């Protein structure tokens, strides 16, 4: 376990908090494992009816911790990162996200697996994979075009153009934009509303909402994972990631 991911449960709501704000909640191997463990525990706990996924009031998640990412042995689709992506993709209970500040890379793609997303006015969703010599993951090459259309998805994934909070709401990536200070409380309140409902009806409704794409989504995550791992070892990605680490303050 790691203190960089906090978990709690009360009144039917499990809260999972990214707790590394000094590093912009960049995800390490240990954090990926903790996130997957937290979701597995929430799925197994009959008292949990919904999950809140949140970061800090200043930042949701800056993506991978690049130094940790490059230093750890890559285990392909058995890596803790891909375990987390598969877990959130098949998670059967509703997931509510509260997003303040930047959501970058996996910090943005994980939101595509959340059922309700509430964003602060200063939130941005950014998918900079191609600029790093990589490809998008978490099934985002399938899910993002389904939500925003091919042209907007191409601008986000190929050009790396970010979505501001208002634009994200306009295209359906987030449910509502609120003042930053109100986001996390609102997400928890919406989760409490869900937790008051019959859990079987919640789970079955989510299953039906996702049933048309679930198998294809899991296949796409595996396909993306294999390509991502291959590209990670190629010169373009190594140069881009090395350049990122060489920036002042890294």
Asked if 2 and 34 count as a contact pair (C-beta separation under 8 A), the reply is yes
* CA-to-CA dists, residue 149 to 35, 66, 112, 157, angstroms: 29, 30, 14, 12
DSSP β-ladder status, 116-120 and 124-126? unpaired
The stretches in the chain having pLDDT less than 70 are 1, 73-77, 248-250
Whole-angstrom distance, CA of residue 102 vs CA of residue 238: 24
Domain ranges of the chain: 5-181+199-245
pLDDT in tens, 132-171: 999 999 999 999 999 999 999 999 999 999 999 999 999 9
Whole-angstrom distance, CA of residue 141 vs CA of residue 24: 25
Architecture of the CATH domain 5-181+199-245: Alpha-Beta Complex (3.90)
* pLDDT number for residue 67: 85
* pLDDT number for residue 72: 73
* pLDDT number for residue 74: 61
pTM, rounded to two decimals: 0.95
* pLDDT number for residue 191: 98
* pLDDT number for residue 219: 96
CB neighbour class for 223 (10 Å; exposed up to 12, middle 13-18, buried from 19): middle
Report the percentage of the chain scoring pLDDT > 70.
96
């Amino acid at each position: 376990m790691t203190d960089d991911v906090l978990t709690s449960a009360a009144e039917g709501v499990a809260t999972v908090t990214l707790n590394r704000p000094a590093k912009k909640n960049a995800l390490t191997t240990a954090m990926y494992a903790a996130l997957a463990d937290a979701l597995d525990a929430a799925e197994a706990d009959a008292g949990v009816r919904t999950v809140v996924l949140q970061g800090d009031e200043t930042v949701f998640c800056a993506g991978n911790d690049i130094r940790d990412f490059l230093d750890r042995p890559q285990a392909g689709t058995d890596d803790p990162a891909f375990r987390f992506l598969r877990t959130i993709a098949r998670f059967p209970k509703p997931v509510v996200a509260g997003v303040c500040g930047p959501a970058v890379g996996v910090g943005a793609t994980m939101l595509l697996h959340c059922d309700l997303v509430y964003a602060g006015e200063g939130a941005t969703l950014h998918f900079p994979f191609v600029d790093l010599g990589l490809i998008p993951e978490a099934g985002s090459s399938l899910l993002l075009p389904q939500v925003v259309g091919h042209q907007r998805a191409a601008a986000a994934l190929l050009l790396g153009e970010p979505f501001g909070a208002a634009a994200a709401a306009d295209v359906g990536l987030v449910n509502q934009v609120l003042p930053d200070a109100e986001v996390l409380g609102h997400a928890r309140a919406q989760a409490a509303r869900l937790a008051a409902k019959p859990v079987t009806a919640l789970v079955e409704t989510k299953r039906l909402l996702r049933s048309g794409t679930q198998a294809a989504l899991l296949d796409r995550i595996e396909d993306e994972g294999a390509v991502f791992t291959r590209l990670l070892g190629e010169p373009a990605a190594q140069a881009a990631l090395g350049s990122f680490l060489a920036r002042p303050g890294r």
